[in-house]
Amino acid sequence: MTRLIFLGPPGAGKGTQAKKLAELFEIPHISTGDILRSNVAQQTLLGQKAREYMDKGELVPDQLILDMVGDRLSVDDAKAGWILDGFPRNVAQASFLDELLASIHQVCQHAVNLDVPDGILVERLVQRGLKEGRADDNEQTIRRRLEVYREQTAPVIDYYRDRHLLVTVDGDRSMSEVTADLKKVIQS
Ligand code: AMP
């Protein structure tokens, strides 16, 4: 059963790769960033609360995120497997996920760390901002998102390493090379 967590800094290519692999393996791609952006666009209460954090490049508070993930993982399509992209984003979320998965009798297969050098991340994010018009892909917010990643999300890598679930994949290569490696991880 394919149940993967995609870790890695903003701009590492998590979203692109997660989407591609989810299509290939016919399982849902669960991106907390996408769910939040859709809530912002639809001006739901969650979206209204989340927006100020997203615009600043800060993490949205855990209490807004955890129910959202719990609800999404309990949808029927997630029984076939899933790829989580952008969650967990801190150690508290990782330990919540452990408890949630235990309660629904699921185990995560691997946590994949997509590794890309900092200089390349900023370049990629600036390009995406120009192309997709994402509000948080401006230089000031990008810088803050990278700081937040280092301070709060990077420790999640150790969390999964300690649990022998971590796989690191070099994300600084062509999209198809990275996809090929990720396929091997899934099929291992
Ligand atoms: P992403 O699309 O994953 O880069 O997420 C965009 C923004 O959504 C982040 O900068 C955060 O503000 C927010 N966000 C996404 N996922 C989470 C999460 N798991 N916990 C807290 N905030 C999140």
Is the CB of 46 within 6 Å of ligand 1? no
- In the block, residue with structure tokens 């803050």: 144
Of the pLDDT bands very low, low, confident and very high (cuts 50, 70, 90), residue 188 is confident
The DSSP H or E segment spanning 55 is helix 45-56
pLDDT tens-digit readout, 58-86: 999 999 999 999 999 999 999 999 999 99
pLDDT tens-digit readout, 127-148: 999 999 898 999 999 999 999 9
Which pairs count as long-range contacts for 99-107, CB under 8 Å and 24+ apart, including other chains? 100/69, 100/70, 100/73, 104/73, 104/74, 106/1, 106/3, 106/73, 107/3
pLDDT tens-digit readout, 91-124: 999 999 999 999 999 999 999 999 999 889 999 9
End-to-end, the C-alpha distance of the chain in Å comes to 11
Copy the structure tokens of residue 59.
């993490």
pLDDT tens-digit readout, 5-59: 999 999 999 999 999 999 999 999 999 999 999 999 999 999 999 999 999 999 9
Alpha carbon of 66 to ligand 1 centroid (Å):
12
Ligand 1 atom at minimum distance from 58 CA: 12
Are the C-beta atoms of residues 128 and 33 closer than 8 Å to each other? no
d(CA 146, CA 124): 13
pLDDT tens-digit readout, 164-177: 999 999 999 999 99
Q: How many helices (H) and strands (E) does the chain have?
A: 9, 5
Ligand 1 atom at minimum distance from 53 CA: 12
